[in-house]
Amino acid sequence: MDRMIKRSVGWILVFLLIPMIFLGIGAGSPEKVGGKVPNTTEGVWSTPFGGIKYDYGSAVIQTMERALMKSKLTSSYTVHDNITIISDDDFHAQAEGCWDVQGLHSGNVTHPYIIEGLNITDPLNHQIQIQNTTVFFQIRNCFLKGEKNVDSLQQGISLINVTNANISSNVISYNLDGISLSYSVENVISNNIISNNSHVGVRMTPDSNFNVIINNTVVNNRWYGIYLYSHNNTLSRNYIYMNGAGIEVPSGLDNVITENMFCENSGYGIAFSLSGRFNTVTRNDFVRNNERYGPQAYDNGIYSVPNPIVCNLIEYNFWDEWTSPDDIAPSGIVDQAYIIIGSVANTDPYPVTIPYNSDLHTLSQPLIVPLGDENLSGTITISWIAYDSFRSHTVEYSIFYSGDSGTSWILIDSGVTDTNYQWDTTTLTNGEYLVKVVASCSGGLITESVIGEKFTINNDVKETSTVTTTSITSTDKSTPGFTFLCLVTLITFSLIPSKVKQKK
Alpha carbons 137 and 21: distance in angstroms, whole number: 12
Alpha helices in 72-153 (DSSP H): 88-95
Using DSSP, state whether 198 is helix, strand or coil. Answer: coil
* Domain ranges, ordered by start, for the chain: 2-348, 366-494
Least Cα distance to 99 among 162, 63, 68, 142 occurs for: 142
Alpha helices in 29-170 (DSSP H): 59-71, 88-95
Q: In whole angstroms, how large is the CA radius of gyration of the chain?
A: 26
Task: Give the contacts of 155 (CB within 8 A, at least 6 positions apart).
Answer: 126, 127, 129, 175, 176, 177, 178, 179, 180, 203
**Beta strand 338-339 pairing with 347-348:** antiparallel
- Per-residue pLDDT of the chain (504 residues), as tens digits, is 444 444 444 444 444 444 443 333 333 322 222 222 222 222 233 332 223 333 433 333 344 444 454 444 444 788 999 999 999 999 998 988 777 765 666 889 988 999 999 999 988 889 999 999 999 999 999 999 988 766 667 899 999 999 999 999 999 999 999 999 999 999 999 999 999 999 999 999 989 999 999 999 999 999 999 999 999 999 999 999 899 999 999 998 999 999 999 988 999 999 998 788 899 999 999 988 998 888 999 998 876 666 667 789 999 999 988 988 999 999 999 999 999 998 888 999 999 998 887 655 554 444 434 344 467 888 887 776 554 444 556 778 888 999 998 899 999 999 988 877 888 989 999 999 888 888 777 777 777 777 767 888 888 865 545 555 444 433 333 333 333 344 443 333 433 333 333 333
What is the DSSP secondary structure assignment for residue 98, as one 8-state letter?
A: T
C-beta separation of 425 from 457 below 8 A: yes
Least Cα distance to 200 among 162, 166, 234, 247 occurs for: 247
Alpha carbons 59 and 36: distance in angstroms, whole number: 8
**pTM exceeds 0.85:** no
- What is the helix (H) or strand (E) element at residue 13, kind and residue range? helix 2-17
Alpha helices in 72-180 (DSSP H): 88-95
- For residue 338, list its beta bridge partners: 348
**Fold of the domain built from segment(s) 366-494:** Immunoglobulin-like (2.60.40)
What is the DSSP secondary structure assignment for residue 29, as one 8-state letter?
A: P
- What is the helix (H) or strand (E) element at residue 162, kind and residue range? strand 155-162
- What is the helix (H) or strand (E) element at residue 286, kind and residue range? strand 285-287
What is the DSSP secondary structure assignment for residue 357, as one 8-state letter?
A: B
Alpha carbons 248 and 289: distance in angstroms, whole number: 13
C-beta separation of 249 from 269 below 8 A: no
What is the DSSP secondary structure assignment for residue 487, as one 8-state letter?
A: -
**Beta strand 217-219 pairing with 193-195:** parallel
Least Cα distance to 94 among 84, 104, 103, 82 occurs for: 84
Q: What is the pLDDT of residue 289?
A: 93
| DSSP symbols for 402-431 | ESSTTSS-EEEEEEE-SSEEEEE-TTSPSE
CATH code: domain 2-348 is: 2.160.20
- Residue 208 identity (one-letter amino acid): S
